[in-house]
Each structure stands twice: as structure tokens, then as C-alpha cells.
Amino acid sequence: MVKQIYVSDIKKGDRLSERFLVKEKILAYSQKGAPYLNLKLGDKSGQVEAKVWDNAAELDGLFKKGDIILIKAQAQSYKNILQLSISEIKTSLPEEIDLSDYLPTARQDANLMLAELMKYVDDIGNPHLTALLKSLFDDEEIRNRFQLAPAAKGFHHVYLGGLLEHTLSVVRLLDQVTRHYQGLNRDLIMAGGILHDLGKIYEFNYDRLIDYSDEGRLIGHIVMGAEMITERIARLPSFPASLAIELKHLILSHHGMLEYGSPKLPNTVEAIIVHMVDDLDAKINAFQEYIKASPDDNSNWTPFHRLFDRYIYKGSAAKS
């Protein structure tokens, strides 16, 4: 069924009947012992707090986090924050749902982004790296997941297609950097840029909510990516051992610091370049998305950003 009302459309006083994705769900109790539900509901336009005051214990068993529910509710303001007071909840059937309505997606077309990325693959001169990259992206499962996966759960490029968008942006930047500095192994850098986050295609689940998979939590995308590359190189018997080591070092060191999850620090010029450009692109996207999502309250500053440990100045970006 066609979704008519998005979170971004809701205003104080609205009465609505619409479907939303359950992003968080907690059964709590008032000081008098009465149960109520604390919910965070969302769609591709944003998220909103919601409460169920009546029949909370009964409705609690009707749905779970990650479900898409049909609600009847009234929009209210509590401490200047929009909140939905829900009176009715019904579950949704699969045929009533278009998932693209509920998860944010990259603004650029995934097919066009992938086609551009493949042009960079074709431009790599080293035949061993080209063979490896084509072996990976000719795999339909890897290619499809690479187009769909987010780049993170809560920091940067947190939307479907975010991994591909981030990777393409990193590779575009690396293309410029490798033309600026002399004495670099450009093919290695470009291949490392393309593959640095490969493990994220399995690190996250993204069929409803964007969240970590069990493998993602237990192992993480850095090691997962290195394992995928090691396995694929084993199918290419002529792949030079020294090139495999340098490429895997780029993957294992691309977070730059041990405390940020890298098993190794960058020990080559190529590795430090991939790390720095990856970090730059991630932080620029995180800044821009946080500014865009900040309340339009006539302030030149965003709310406090916990991960960056600072307020971010909107400046001219807020007026553009």
C-alpha cells in the first residue's frame, strides 16, 4: 500500500493513521506501577518518539523491534519535542509494505555508482589486482550486497547504498591524491580503496533495521574483509605473495589506530593514504548529515555530537 505520511510530515496536533518501522521498543512502568510502551518509530525521512498508555502489556506482545506497524495516533509536544500518543496498533502483511519507504537510501543511483566504480577497476594496470577485483565483483551475491549495504550503523553513510557511495567517494579522492604525490603504487592504493570496507557487506543486517550481524559483532568488517580477500586470492594461483601481503595490510590498517579497531597501524605510504582518505570522507559525511538532521531552530550550531565530542557550527551550510 502507498505510504501517505512520513515522519517529516508530522506536525503537532495531527491525527494520523499510518505505518512506521519500530526502531526501539521498551515496556516500562509508571510510578504507580502501570505499564506503558516507549517506542521510537521511523521511516526513510526520520524518526519520532511515541508512547502507548492504554493496553500496553497486551499490545507489547503484538509486535517486536524491526516490525512495521499500522498505528492510529495523535501528535503532541512534550518538552518541545514531537511525540506520538498511540491509541491503536495493527501488524502489517508483507504485501502491504515497500521497504524503500522505511529505510533511508543513498541519493545517487546505485547502478550508476557501481558502473563508475567499475571504470576505476578497469583503469588498474596491475593484472593480478584486476583479476582479483573482477573475481569479487563478478560474484552476483557480493555485487548485490555491495550495492545495498550501509557503510555504518550510526556514524557515516548510514543508509542503504551508503557503502557503495562511501567507497566511490574514497576512490575518487584517491585518484586525485595518487596524481599529486610521486613514487606511489597507484594500482595498490586504488585497489585498497575499492576493497577497504568489503567486509561490511556481511557486517550488517539491513533488511529492516540497520544493525550488526552476529559475525559483524564477533569478528568485524576489517578481519572479515581480509579473510574474503585471502580466500579469493587463493583461487588465483599466480597472485604474487608480496602483493597479497601489502593489499591485506591496507585492509587491516585502514582504521589507522589500534583503539579504533585496526589490528595493525599503517606501515606503508599506501596504507596511510588509504586510511587518511577513508577517515576524511567518513567524517565529512558525518558532519554534513548531522547538520542536515539538526533542528531548524535559527541557531548556527547543532546539538552536541556525542561521537565527535563537540557542537558543530552550521555557518553558511545552514543558510544554503
Cell numbers for 15, please give them: 491525527
How buried is 8 (Cβ within 10 angstroms: 0-12 exposed, 13-18 middle, 19+ buried)?
Answer: exposed
The 10 Å Cβ neighbour count of residue 91 is 12
Identify the pLDDT of residue 316: 65
Identify the pLDDT of residue 232: 97
Decide: helix, strand or coil at residue 133. Answer: helix
Cβ contact 100:44 at 8 Å: yes
Identify the pLDDT of residue 254: 96
Beta bridge partners of 126: none
Identify the pLDDT of residue 319: 53
Single pTM value for the model: 0.84
Note down pLDDT in tens along the chain; length 320 residues: 688 899 999 999 999 999 999 999 999 998 888 999 999 999 988 889 999 999 999 999 999 998 999 999 999 988 888 999 999 999 988 888 888 888 888 889 999 999 999 999 999 999 999 999 999 999 999 999 999 999 998 878 888 999 999 999 999 999 999 999 999 999 999 999 999 999 999 999 987 788 899 999 999 999 999 999 999 999 999 999 999 999 999 999 999 999 888 999 999 999 999 999 999 999 999 898 888 878 777 888 988 888 888 999 988 645 54
Cβ contact 277:197 at 8 Å: no
- Cell 502489556 locates to 57
The CA distance from 100 to 34, in Å, is: 37
Identify the pLDDT of residue 3: 87
Identify the pLDDT of residue 175: 98
Cell numbers for 140, please give them: 552476483
Contacts of 47 (CB under 8 A, 6+ apart): 7, 23, 40, 41
